[in-house]
Structure 1
Amino acid sequence: MSASSLPPILKLDGVVKRFGGLTAVNDVSMRVSAGEVVGILGPNGSGKTTLFSTVSGFLRPNAGTIEFDGKPIQGMHPHEICNLGLARTFQIVQPFMGLRVLDNVVVGCLASGRSLPQARERAAEIVDFVGMGSRSETMAAELSLPDRKRLELAKALSTEPKLILLDEIMAGLRPSEVTVAVDLIKRISALGVTILIVEHLMQAILALCERIYVLQHGSLIASGEPRACMQESAVVDAYFGEAYRA
């Protein structure tokens, strides 16, 4: 049985998010099953990050329903949603700059209810898992961009998530660094963590995702297998314009 045939761990129905007269997310419905890696594509300004912020509780939807693991979560606070097992990363990484790498991850482990010794032990395991064991004592402010991205993943993993929303985790990376990031995401998926990823890099999407959703001006314009979706005329127009298709 494929992952996509299982009951959804994340279900969106008719989700709308407006900012005054601007509709940033317009009647979006999605399904993500446990164990899947699903991509969200769209040009800049298409509503991808707004959708993530709405799902994770940083914004409240104007309409529609969001269910995670069978529970309605629209209107809940971010920490409440995180405690249910839904974590996210941010497009602009947000480490605790004044803390060491290990302590950044300890914060998330403490939030999941561990004692301090248990949190430190688990944090060390996660830091090793993402390939930063040699940097565990480094201050977050001293890290390179690729290492800050890995720390962002480690922080998400520290909350013991069932589902992670990855928001352009590979933006700004060199090709060799993208390859390392793709491998790490595959290893996270192999742990049984469901992944919903916003990404512009088709190399990464094709390597990771069974299915994708494509947004344009806040609305869904396509969904399905990545290569098939990218050949649809509406998707070609959204990314390259009608002149390219002609």
Structure 2
Amino acid sequence: MSYNLPEGTVRKLVATAFTNHTSTARFVGLAVGPHTPLADVARTVERQVFEETFGMDAAAMSAEYRRYEDDSLFFVVLDRRTGLPAGAARVIDGGGKTLDDAPDCIDVPLSTIVGLHDLHTGRIWDFATLAVLPAYRGVRAGVAVSAMLYRTFLNAGRLAGVRHIVAMLDHRAHRNLKLIGVEFTPMAGSDPVEYLGSSSTEALHVLFDDLEPSIARQCERLRQNTANTGEIDGRGLRRLLTRRTAARVAYQVHSGMGLDEHILLPALDRRRLIRQR
């Protein structure tokens, strides 16, 4: 497993993936298992973003996630125009790192967290990482990349029969998800904490089945310019453009319109996703 693939290796793996993908769109999304070639592409994207943002190099990433590698599922968005990945995300089956780290971080026993959020019933996914490369931030293409990552996550989670999502999210990632309508609850009513280089990280929970309905509701609120669950910075034109962009992302994520035909969940990973724990 590598968090530091050479660009030439990444290009070869991405090119191979495109030959096996039915879509000819610029951006395509895949869900891949931890021991597939594209998993290391996703790990490399994670490292690039986490090193830039939180100072976590390949050694730090490996140390943090080593024990969770076998239970990880990766979502990766590839850019046909560049022949490179544009973004990646990871979930860890069973609650993973969040349920290991959150109790000490928020000073609440795991048994209390499990009881308060009914975590003893149903499958748990830890929404462990989300990484969009710098070239795609703040531009139209970046909106497509984020929307595809979120929709790939929803499609895979539905297939897997997920009931609970837990996460330790930096405030910026949480703000972006809240803007499109993801209504996380602070775990055990906890406050933000310092965590893995972030000065403000929240331990969070949401029911998987609540995601699409809440995103759909937020889409309508954004379209109608009524009160919404997110934070929109700026004024005037900037505020209007942000709201319209968020509405477009929310619509695509909850409906799959313009995305589902460009997303693949490879058969091998489907068998892995539905296995009994």
Scaled to the shorter chain, the TM-score interval is 0.3 to 0.5
TM-score (normalizing by structure 2): 0.33
Higher relative contact order (CA 8 A, sep 6+): 1
Name the structure with the higher helix share.
2
TM-score (normalizing by structure 1): 0.36
